[in-house]
Structure 1
Amino acid sequence: MSGGLVPAWSVVVILLLAVLAANLPFLNERIFAVGPRRSPKSIWWRFVELSAYALIVALAGRGLESYLGQASALRWEFVAVWVCVMATLAFPGFVWRHLRRGT
């Protein structure tokens, strides 16, 4: 890797994975998309799923970063920004589920 730049494909993969993971809790009624169907699934289940998916995507990004080069240090700023990013990416699914559909 010249100049320490991350290949563009890795950024696209993580962003697409993050968008899918952020909206998945709001697009289905199954627990973690494969568990038993709950109708309607409570908002708390959706937040638990969103937190778990955010952790999975962060770990995938960390693994990809380690694979491609030297991983940077994780500090509280990263965690704060990542929570804000996942909340922003989850907004369309939240609006569709709770504001548009009214459930």
Structure 2
Amino acid sequence: MNVSLSSWFVILLALLAANLPFINERLFALVPLKSGGQAAVKPVWVRLLELFALYALVGLFAYVLEANIGNTFRQGWEFYAVTGCMFLVLAYPGYVLRYLKKHR
């Protein structure tokens, strides 16, 4: 896989992973949450923890792709601050659909 294709793949994966907590009521889209035998609504703090875990998972996947292409680069706190903010910006459409759009 060349550098350009792997870069676009990571960006697309980040877009999908950032919106995943907001488009369903399951934990990581796999585990149904139940309360008293009925499906429960996922609280905001669970969505944020899921968002953080998916950020780490996408970062790990990107690191593996970078290692397969060539040498990996050391990253400082600035890198994680910028990519974390970018991940939150990519999550904005899912947030709008979940919390800001009126459901009729």
Global fold match (TM > 0.5): yes
Segments of 5+ residues of structure 1 without an aligned counterpart are 1-5
Q: Identify which range, 47-56 or 32-41, moves more after superposition.
A: 32-41
Q: List gaps (5 residues or longer) in structure 2.
A: 34-38
CA RMSD of aligned residues (A): 1.3
Question: Distance in 2 between the 1:71 and 1:50 partners?
Answer: 25
The match for 1:3 is none
DSSP 3-state at the match of 1:72: coil
Query: Hey, what's the Cα distance between the residues in 2 that align with 1:75 and 1:66?
Result: 17
**Equivalence for 1:9:** 5
1:74 Cα shift? 1.4
- The equivalent residue for 1:31 is 27
Instruction: Specify the alignment match of 1:81 in structure 2.
Output: 82
Spell out, residue by residue over 1:37-95, the C-alpha distance to the aligned partner (whole angstroms, 9 max, x if none). 35321111100110000000000001100110111101101110111011000000001
Q: Which moved more, 1:6-15 or 1:24-33?
A: 6-15
Equivalent residues, number: 97
SS in 1 for 2:84: helix
AA matched with 1:27: I
Aligned identity (percent) is 42
- CA deviation after TM superposition for structure 1 residue 101, in Å: 4.0
The TM-score normalised by the length of structure 2 is 0.88
- Cα distance between partner residues in 1 of 2:8 and 2:40: 34
How far did 1:14 drift?
0.1
SS in structure 1 opposite 2:31? coil
Higher strand share: 2
